[in-house]
Amino acid sequence: MLLEKNIPIPHIKLIDFGLAHEIEDGVEFKNIFGTPEFVAPEIVNYEPLGLAADMWLSGASPFLGDTKQETLANITAVNYEFDEEFFSHTSDLAKDFIRKLLVKDTRKRLTIQEALTHPWITPKDKCQALVRRESVINLENFKKQYARRRWKLTYSIVALCNHLSRTLVRKVRLMQDESLVSAWGWGSAGR
C-alpha cells in the first residue's frame, strides 16, 4: 500500500498483486504462497483463506527474522516489533491501524469496511489528515528494506551453491577413489 505524494488529496494505491487469487463464496480455498514476511498466519498454517488474509499487512515487515523459519514462526506467534529503522516516522495512528490488521484471529482482524473507516485511512479531522501525511512510509526506507531482503536471498543462494559444489566435489573424489580401488583389485575379498 503506497500513498501518493505532492498532490492536494493523495490516493492510497494497493500494490503487489503477483500472487492474487479470486476467492469464490462457499468454496474453501487453501494454499501456501506469498512473500514470507507478508503472509498471514492462516497461510503459514495451511488453513482456509478468506478476505481476511488480504487484510494482514504492514508495508514494511515487522516479522522479519534472521531466517525464513524464524520469520514464519514470528508470523504464527504474531510476534512483531516496529523496527525503528523502518517505523521511526510512522505515527501512532498508523501503528494503531497496522496493529488492528495484524490480529491472528481472522474474526477479530479489521474487515475491509472497518479498515476504510479507520482514522488513518479516512481522517476525521485536519489533525488526523496531517498525521497521515507525515507518517507515510518513506520510499527510501522501503527500497532499503527490499535491498536488504534481496541481499539475504542472494547470500542464501550463494551459500547453497557453495554447499552443493562442495558436496559434488566430495562425491566425484569418492567415485574416483572407488574406481582406483576397483582397478587395482584392492576391494576384493581375497586381498
Residues 144, 124 share a domain: no
Residues 25, 67 share a domain: yes
Q: How many domains does the chain have?
A: 2
* Per-residue pLDDT, 15: 61
Closest CA to 55 of 132, 108, 120, 93: 108
Residues 173, 120 share a domain: no
Residues 163, 78 share a domain: no
- Higher pLDDT: 20 or 90? It is 90
DSSP letters for 77-110: TT-----HHHHTT--HHHHHHHHHHS-SSTTTSP
* pLDDT 10s digits, 37-54: 778 888 888 888 887 887
CA–CA distance, 110 with 112 (Å, rounded to integer): 7
Among 93, 113, 137, the domain boundary falls at: 137
Type and span of the H or E element at 13: strand 12-13
What is the extent of the structural domain holding 102? 2-137
Least confident stretch, 97-101, 113-117, 177-181: 177-181
Decide if pLDDT at 139 tops 60: no
Residues 171, 147 share a domain: yes
Among 137, 157, 175, the domain boundary falls at: 137
Residues 129, 107 share a domain: yes
Give the rounded percent of residues in the chain with a pLDDT score beyond 70. 75
DSSP letters for 58-73: -SS-S---SSHHHHHH
Residues 54, 127 share a domain: yes
Residues 55, 21 share a domain: yes
* Per-residue pLDDT, 19: 67
* pLDDT 10s digits, 145-158: 667 766 776 777 77
pTM, two decimal places: 0.56
CATH of the domain at 70: 1.10.510.10
CA dihedral sign of residues 177, 182, 186, 188: positive
Residues 114, 31 share a domain: yes
Residue with cell 500500500: 1
